[in-house]
Structure 1
Amino acid sequence: MGKSRHEKRAAIREHKEARRDRCESDAYLDANSRVIKAERNIPWWRR
Structure 2
Amino acid sequence: NIPGVDVVPVKELNAEILAPGTHPGRLTIWTKGAIEALDKMYCKGEAA
TM-score above 0.5, yes or no? no
TM-score, length of structure 1 as denominator length: 0.22
Q: By percentage of residues, which structure has more helix? A: 1
Structure with higher RCO (Cα < 8 A, 6+ apart)? 2
